[in-house]
Structure 1
Amino acid sequence: MANGRILVVDDERFFQELFRDVLTGAGHAVRTSSSAEEALEVLAAERVDLLLTDMVMPGLDGLGLIREARRRDPELEVVAVTGREDVKLAVESMKAGCSDFLTKPLEPGELLRVAERVLGRVRLRREHSQLLTENLEFVKAQALYRQGLQILATLDGERLVDLALSVLARTTDAQGAALWVADEKGQLALRGYRGLVDRAALPVRVDPRDPAFADALRGGAPFLAPDGWGGEAFLVPLVADDEPLGLALLSDRARGRFGRDEHAAALVVADFTAIAVKNARRFQAVERVGLRDRETGAYNLSYFVDYAGKEFYKARRYGRAFSLVVLSVDNVEQLRKEAGREPFRRLMRDLVAAVGRAVRDADILAKVSESEYYVLLPETDYFGALMFVRRATEEVRREASVRTMEERVPVLLSIGAASFPKDGEDFDELLHWARDRVQDQRGSLLRRLHLGDLEPGAFWELTDVLLSGSARLPDSSASARLQPDAELFAAAQREAAREIARDPRARGLLYVGLRTALAASPVRAALPPGDPAARAGDPSARVYLLGPRGTDAEAAPHPLVTEVYVDGDQRFAGHEFLLFLSERSAYALLAGPDGRTFHTSDMPLVDALVSKLQTAYDLQPI
C-alpha cells in the first residue's frame, strides 16, 4: 500500500467526512475542503499527492478546479467524483487531466482501490525522479572525479596551474579565476589567472600569516574574497596535510550567483590540486637528482632547455621577466695543466658549489661544457641578474680551493646576463646578449688592470688607481681620463636624473658623492617629482647622496632620495663621484684633488665601484 497525502473537495459535509474516514482508515493523510477556491489555497500552501474532487459545486466547479490545479502542477494526480452518470462530464474531466472517474454512491472498497492505484503511480514517478536526480548527481560527481584524476596525473607545475584554473572555472561557471601557489619561502605567489580578472587588482603575493587569511586558510573552507578582487568572488584554500599550498580565486559566475554547490565543487577541485602540487614538487625533486652532472652536481643541458621552454611559456602568457646568465671559466686548460687531474676536478666542483650558494630554489644551474655554465633566474629582471652576478662572483672568490689555486694561477671567471623581454624574446637572442656581455667582462678594465683583486671595501683605493696616472689605460672609448671641467660633474648629475625620469619604474642605483652640503646637489632638482606613499615598494631607481651635512637649511625630502651623512670623512673633502647603474646603462664619473677626472661606461667596472662603495659605507645592495 502506498500511503499518501490526499485532498478531498466536496460541497457536502457528509461526503467530506465519508471519504476522510475511509481513506484515513487505510493510513492516508487527508485534508478536506468545501469549495474549489478553498482547495486552491490548500494546494498553494501544501504538497498533495492526490486531489479527489466533486464535479458539481457552487462557484468554481470541479472541472474548473481540475484545470487550474493541473495548470499549477502538471504532475498532480486527480480523481473526479460526481453523483450523475454523465458520460460527457467524465470525458471532459479526463481531458482536463483526471486519472480516474467515480460516481456516487460509491463503495468504500472501490474508493480505496482507485486511490491506492493512483498513489502507486505517484510513488513510482517519484522513485523514478529520485533515481534520475541521483544518476545526474552521480554523473556530475564522476565527471568531477575524472577531472580531479587528470589534475593528479599532471606533474609539471605550469601545466598544473593552467589545468587547475580551467577545471575550477568550468565546474563553478566562473568567468574569472586566479591561482596563488606557495613558493620556497612559504609565501603564496600568483602563478596564473584567466578570464575576467583585473590583474592589477590582485596581489602578487599573499602572506599566509596575514590575519586576513590565516584563519580561513587553516579552516580550509571557501570564504569571500576581499573587496576589489573581483565582482562577486570567493576564495578557496589549497590545503594538503594541514599545509597551505595555495589559494584560488573564482569570480563573476556566468549564470546566477555562487552558491553552496559551487563552493563544494571548488573545494573538491582545490583538494585535488593541493595534492597534485605536493606530488609535483616531490617529482621535481626526484627528477632533479637524476638529471645532474656527476662531477659538479649541476643540471644537464637537456633538463635546462626543457625548463627554459616552460619559463618562456610562463613569461609570455603572464607578462613576467626572467634572466639567463652565462658563466665561463676562460682558462680551463691552463688550470688543468697547473693543478693536475684530481685537484682540477675538485676545483670545478667547488666553483659550481660556490655559484650554487648564490642561486635560489627556483633557479636552475646547468653545465654546458667543462668551461661554460648557464643559470636560469625566473622572475628576475636584468638589474636583479646583475645582483646575482655580483653574489656569484663573491661566493667564488671566497671559496677556499679557488683562493688556493689563485696563489699559483688566476681563475678567470667571466659572467654575462640577459633578460626577457628586454634583451630578446627567444633563447638564441638571450644567449647572444649574455655571451656578448661575457666578452665585455673579458675586455673590461677590471680584468685588464687586475682591479678585481682589491678588497671588497676598497672603494677609495680603486678610485685612486683610476684617477692616478700610474695605471696606463688601454685604448678604449668606454673609459678615459679627462681634463678638469668645473661644470662636468653638475651636468652629469642632471643627465643621470633625466635618465631616471625617462622611465621612473626602471630599476637602478645612483650614488652621488659631494664635497658640499647635500641640499645643494643639482641631481635633486632635476629628479622627477613623486609621492612617497604611492611609491612605497615600487621597484624604481634609488638615489643616494653622500657627503657632509653642512650648515645650510635642509632640502625638502624626495621619495627617491636617501641622504647619507659622512661628516668627518676627509676623503669627501677632496673627491666627488657619480655612480649610475641601471637595467639599461652604467656610468661612473670620478673627480679627485687638483681636478683629476675619470669617466667610464664599462659596466663590470661600474658595478665593482658600486659594490665596493656599498661595502665601505654599509649601504644596501639594492
Structure 2
Amino acid sequence: MLSLRAIVVPGESNDGALIERVLVDHGDSIEVFADVNRALSRLTEENFDAIFISLSLPRGDGLALVHHVRALHPMTEVIVMSAPAQIEETAHASALGVLHTIVLPLTGDAVLLAADRARERKLLVRERERLLADEAKSRRRSASYARSAAFISEVDMRPLSRGLLDAALGELDARAGSIYLPVSSQRFERVFARGAAEEHPLRLDEDDLKAIDPVSPVRVEGTRAFVDLIGDYEVLGHMRLDLGAPLSNAARESLENLAGLGVAALTAARKVDAIARAGIKDPETSAYTFAYFGDIAGREIDRAKRYHRNFALLTVSFDGLDELKKTLSYEQIAQLRRATADGILEGIRGGDILARVEDDEYYVLLPETDLLGANVVRRRVRSACARVLEEEGVPRHLAEPVLGVAAYPGDGADLGRLLSAVRRRSEQAGETVRRRAGLREQELWPLLEHLIDDEDEGEAAPHAEGWNAFSGRATLPEAVVARMGAEVAATIAHQCKAGTVYLGGAGGIPEAIARALPSPSAGGIRIGKLGDFDGRGFDLEVRDPRLEQIGFFIALTDLGGYALIYRRASSGITVFHSSELDLVDALFVALQREYHLQPESEA
C-alpha cells in the first residue's frame, strides 16, 4: 500500500491522537501540531502529501489555514474536519478545492476513507507525471533522431562532432558532456564540451584509452557514461556524459544506436577530409596544400627564367606555439589556427599564393617580387599576425611570428635552393626572436648600444667569407673595420640593382665606405648620410652629435641585409656586424622612425 506523509492540525487533542493512531497502523507517517504557525513552518521545510485541518481551532483560524495551504502548497491535499453546524465554513473550504471533508465527531473509518482518497490522488499525480515525462522523453528522442539525421550528412568534423554530442545530451537529459577526436593514433583531444564539463580533461591519457571496450560501445561508471565510437580498425571518437539519473536500458539502447550512427558519419567525414587534403585546398584554413604549392612554384620558376622576372618565397611560423597548444583544447587550437591563417591572408596581396605546409607553418609565393618587396610584405604579415594573436588573447612572448624570406634568382635558381635559403633565414629569424625578444619595439639608440654592448651576441671572425656568413661582436683595428665595410659596399655597387643604405658616423670609417658605394647618379640605390664626414652627394643628409661616438653602415638591398655598428674604444674599435635580415630590418625601421625618414616603397 502507498504510504502517506501527513500533518494534522486538530481542534481537540483527542482528534489528533485518533488520526495518528489509525494512520500509523496503516504505515503512514503522521505529525500532529496544535500550533498553526509550527504547522506552517513544517510545511515549508518538507513536502507532505496531505494535511488534516480542523475548521474549529482553539488558537487560530482553520479556514485561513486552508486558504494559506491551497495558495502556497498546491501539491499538498487538504482534508478538513468540521462540525455539522459549520455549514458556511465547510462550503467555503470546498470552494477552495479541498480533497475531502470529515464531519465531526471523528471515526476511524472516516479517517481511513479520507486517507485513501489522498492515496488515490497521489497515485494519479504520479501516473500523470510519468506520462508527461515519457511524452517529453519521446519528443526529445524524436528531436535527437532529427539531429542525428542532420549530423550524419555533415562532412566537416567540427559541426559533426558538435551535433553528435548534442544528440547524446538531448537523449539522456545529461548535465554535461564532452567529445574527443584523435589528433594522432594515441592522442585524443576534446573538441567540444557542453554544460559544466570542468572535470572532463582536455585530452585523454593512456589509462582512458586502455579502458575502451571494443565490444561494448557504452560503459557506465557511477553517474558518468562513456560512449566509444569504434570503427573497423580504430577508435574514431569518444564521448563522456554526466548523467542526471541512472541510465535505463532504453537510454543505453539509444546511446548504442547513436554510437553506430556516429561511427558511420565520422568514417564518411574522414574519407571526405582525406580527399580534400589530397586536393588543392586545406579545409581547415582555406590555404592551398603543399603539393599544389609545389606545382605553382615550379611553374613560377619556369616563367621567371623565360621572362627574366623576380619572385620571392615567404615562410611563416610561430615561435612558442607548440608549448602554448598543450594548454588549449582542440577547438581553441582550431580557432587559433584559422585566425593566424586569416592574419597572413590579410598581410599578403591578392595575387600571392598561401599554402599550409605543416600544422602551423605556411609558405607564401610572391610573384613579380624581389627581396625588398618581399621584406615589405613580411612586415605587413608580421604586424597582421601579431594583431590577430593579441585579439585571440595570446601573449606575444608565447607565440611570436617568425618569418623567413628568399628571392629568385639571388637566393637560388630552383625550388630546392630557394627552400633551403628561406629555411635558413627562418631559422635566423627564430634565433633573433629568442635572443632579442622585444628589440623590435626599441628606439634606435638604445638598440644600437644594446647590440654593441651585449656580451650574449657572441664573437665574430673579422674576415668571414660571404654575404650571409657572419654575425657577432669583435674588437678590431680601425683599418680592418673600414675595409670590412668597404668590401660590402663594393658588393652593393657591383651586384645590387635596388635598395637603401644608411651611412652614419664621423671620420675615416664612413668615408672609406662611402668611396666604395655606387654613385647616386647610378640610380636604384638610395644612400642616406647621417653624420659629419666627407663624401660624394647623397640622397639625404642628417646631422646628429651622437654620431661622433657611434657609427653605422646599414644596408637593405635586393641581395639581403647587412648592418655594421661600431664605437671607438681604448683598445680599438668595438664592432657588431650581422647579415640577419630580421635584425637589419628592425634597425631600418628604428632608424626611419628616429629621423622621420620615408620607408621603402610598398611592394
Q: TM-score, normalised by structure 2?
A: 0.46
